[in-house]
């Protein structure tokens, strides 16, 4: 637009604003107001460096390259062909590239209802008892957003999946931690992950009139424990007595190597207070697809759906369609049995190196993580750790040492405990075995390098 088209008054204002030179002080105070305003909210600021960035940084600084990454729980192989081809063909369909209904695509809701009804012992209603979410993680955020008011308390067992913490804090929830205890002889011999225990007196003492929810995870990450029926009954009894909503994170529900009970199925009363969380990412080896769901009574599910609608409206359409086909066809392909057989074989293949070295571990009852106890490993006297590792518990030093000296990445589990209870797991490291067999063999070969550091 030519300046002659502007009104004389506007031209004058424009000229003054362009030519006004602010004083140095005014400029600095504008800058400081700006930087105040540019500050992030407390919920994302000021956290200490998290375990993932410490481990990734250590991995890139290691003289041994490439690192064998046994740390993060992503699969090192693709979903099976029947699921991959379902995803590819969904992309060719017009309606699969558009918004899905906020509660989930009808085909996926029906497939989930059909797949889970046998476990519930009755027909689940796909329209009122299931809601699809963007991965289990956003599903849990939606559940906390739906039920937590500022100051409400949520009980979380340690070690915890780290996302629970910020998901509970975002709506203003207060977390009350209850530690799980490793077996007393965990440093001496390999025992079942089922030997990690909850002290039920500690759990009962953690309950207050403000306790609104409890988060349960079975099969458990990182411990590999599957809560027994009697443990679940005790938890359920406390929750019924105190009217506490149970959020049962069962994302590893197809990977169990012992009897697996779903807490929602204990009784109709328990079902009424339980939200069960699932993940297609974990079920179908596709963690990047971001498809999850919650199953629960309509009185609870409707509010999870309402929160989900406000958080992300709906979830990825073509991949919901692929997951629907995945559930429809899984039984026909014998897929669920295959999952268990394959992961058991990987677990056995990998843990053989710990048997060989005499390093005890918690033999997983479910999931794809294994916790090994490195108490016997003697870190060399005077070994130099960077400051941010030096000030963390011994498991961080062990993880750093393994990356630098052997080129193997594992996760220090004290990250999943409060500082107060971090010492409980300072000798443990978590390994993810959902990797191709050649990667597992590589990791084993490198771990044999620990021989010279083992206490006699
Ligand atoms: C215990 C647990 N819950 C939930 C999730 C997240 O699942 P999703 O990838 O479906 O969000 C994970 C992922 O590692 C997990 O370990």
Q: What is the pLDDT of residues 399-429, one digit of tens each?
A: 999 999 999 999 999 999 999 999 999 999 9
Per-residue pLDDT, averaged over 55-69, amounts to: 91
Indicate if ligand 1 lies below 6 Å from the C-beta of 250.
no
pLDDT of res. 47: 66
pLDDT of res. 453: 97
Q: Which atom of ligand 1 is nearest to 137's Cα?
A: 11
Indicate if ligand 1 lies below 6 Å from the C-beta of 73.
yes
pLDDT of res. 424: 95
pLDDT at residue 6 above 60? Answer: no
Domains and CATH numbers, the chain: 51-73+335-453 (3.90.1150.10), 81-330 (3.40.640.10)
Query: Model confidence over 339-378: pLDDT tens digits?
Result: 999 999 999 999 999 999 999 999 999 999 999 999 999 9
Indicate if ligand 1 lies below 6 Å from the C-beta of 291.
no
In this structure, the number of other CB atoms found within 10 A of the CB of residue 21 comes to 7
pLDDT of res. 11: 52
**What's the CA-to-centroid distance between 162 and ligand 1, angstroms?**
10
pLDDT of res. 31: 65
C-beta separation of 136 from 279 below 8 A: yes
Confidence band for 295, pLDDT divided at 50, 70 and 90: very high
Q: Which of 38-42, 56-60, 290-294, 388-392 has the highest mean pLDDT?
A: 290-294
**What's the CA-to-centroid distance between 300 and ligand 1, angstroms?**
21
**What's the CA-to-centroid distance between 288 and ligand 1, angstroms?**
11
Q: How many helical (H) and strand (E) elements, i.e. helices and strands, does the chain have?
A: 17, 14
In this structure, the number of other CB atoms found within 10 A of the CB of residue 150 comes to 8
Nearest in space to 307 (alpha carbons), one of 171, 210, 173: 171
- Preceding amide of 5 cis, omega within 30: no
Indicate if ligand 1 lies below 6 Å from the C-beta of 136.
yes
Confidence band for 232, pLDDT divided at 50, 70 and 90: very high
Q: Which atom of ligand 1 is nearest to 249's Cα?
A: 3
Query: Model confidence over 115-155: pLDDT tens digits?
Result: 999 999 999 999 999 999 999 999 999 999 999 999 999 99
pLDDT at residue 243 above 50? Answer: yes
Query: Model confidence over 7-57: pLDDT tens digits?
Result: 555 555 544 444 555 567 776 776 666 688 888 888 887 667 888 888 888
C-beta separation of 409 from 70 below 8 A: yes
Helix H or strand E segment including 137? helix 135-147
Indicate if ligand 1 lies below 6 Å from the C-beta of 261.
no
pLDDT at residue 299 above 50? Answer: yes
| Closest residue by CA, ligand 1 atom 7 | 136
Q: For all residues of the chain together, what is the average pLDDT?
A: 93
pLDDT of res. 41: 87
Least confident of 62-76, 108-122, 139-153, 431-445: 62-76
Which residues touch 93 (CB under 8 Å, ≥6 apart)? 318, 321
Indicate if ligand 1 lies below 6 Å from the C-beta of 224.
no
pLDDT of res. 46: 66
Q: Which atom of ligand 1 is nearest to 280's Cα?
A: 10
- What is the Cα–Cα distance from 395 to 374, expressed in whole angstroms? 8
Is 0.85 topped by the overall pTM? yes
Q: Look-up: residue for tokens 């025992």?
A: 191
**What's the CA-to-centroid distance between 137 and ligand 1, angstroms?**
6
Nearest in space to 398 (alpha carbons), one of 432, 370, 417, 375: 375
Which residue of 74, 168, 282, 411 sits with most ligand 1 atoms within 8 Å of its CB, as the best mutation to test the pocket?
282
How far, in whole angstroms, is CA 250 from its chain's centroid? 11
- What is the Cα–Cα distance from 262 to 276, expressed in whole angstroms? 8
Which residues touch 201 (CB under 8 Å, ≥6 apart)? none
Indicate if ligand 1 lies below 6 Å from the C-beta of 90.
no
% of the chain with per-residue pLDDT over 90:
86
């Amino acid at each position: 637009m030519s300046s002659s088209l502007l009104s004389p008054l506007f031209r004058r204002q424009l000229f003054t604003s362009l030519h006004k030179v602010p004083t140095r002080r005014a400029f600095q105070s504008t800058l400081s107001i700006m930087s105040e305003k540019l500050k992030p909210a407390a919920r994302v600021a000021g956290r200490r460096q998290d375990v993932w960035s410490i481990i990734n940084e250590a991995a890139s600084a290691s003289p041994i390259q490439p690192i064998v990454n046994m740390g993060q729980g992503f699969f090192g192989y693709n979903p099976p062909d029947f699921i991959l081809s379902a995803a590819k063909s969904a992309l060719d369909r017009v309606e699969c590239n558009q918004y899905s209904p906020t509660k989930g695509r009808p085909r996926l809701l029906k497939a989930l209802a059909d797949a889970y009804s046998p476990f519930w012992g009755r027909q689940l209603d796909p329209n009122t008892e299931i809601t699809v979410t963007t991965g289990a993680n956003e599903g849990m955020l939606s559940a906390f957003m739906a039920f937590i008011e500022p100051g409400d308390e949520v009980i979380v067992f340690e070690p915890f999946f780290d996302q629970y913490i910020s998901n509970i804090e975002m709506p203003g929830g207060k977390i009350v931690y209850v530690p799980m205890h490793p077996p007393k002889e965990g440093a001496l011999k390999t025992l079942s992950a089922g030997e990690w225990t909850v002290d039920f007196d500690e759990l009962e003492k953690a309950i207050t009139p403000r306790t609104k929810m409890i988060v349960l995870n079975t099969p458990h990450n990182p411990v590999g424990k599957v809560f027994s029926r009697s443990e679940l009954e005790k938890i359920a009894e406390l929750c019924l007595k105190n009217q506490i909503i149970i959020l049962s994170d069962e994302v590893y529900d197809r990977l169990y190597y012992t009897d697996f009970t779903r807490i929602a199925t204990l009784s109709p009363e328990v079902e009424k207070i339980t939200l069960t969380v699932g993940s297609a990412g974990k079920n179908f080896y596709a963690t990047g697809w971001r498809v999850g769901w919650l199953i629960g009574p309509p009185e609870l599910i409707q509010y999870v759906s309402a929160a989900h609608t406000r958080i992300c409206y709906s979830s990825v359409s073509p991949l919901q369609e692929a997951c629907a086909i995945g559930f429809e066809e899984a039984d026909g392909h014998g897929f669920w049995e295959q999952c268990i057989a394959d992961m058991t074989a990987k677990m056995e293949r990998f843990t053989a190196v710990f048997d060989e070295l005499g390093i005890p571990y918690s033999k997983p009852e479910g999931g794809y993580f294994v916790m090994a106890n490195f108490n016997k490993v003697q870190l060399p006297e005077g070994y130099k750790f960077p400051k941010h590792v030096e000030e963390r518990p011994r498991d961080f030093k062990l993880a750093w040492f393994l990356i630098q000296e052997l080129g193997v990445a594992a996760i220090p589990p004290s990250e999943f405990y409060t500082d107060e209870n971090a010492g409980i797991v300072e000798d443990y490291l978590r390994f993810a075995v959902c990797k191709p067999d050649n990667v597992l063999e590589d990791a084993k070969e490198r771990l044999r390098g620990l021989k010279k550091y083992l206490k006699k």
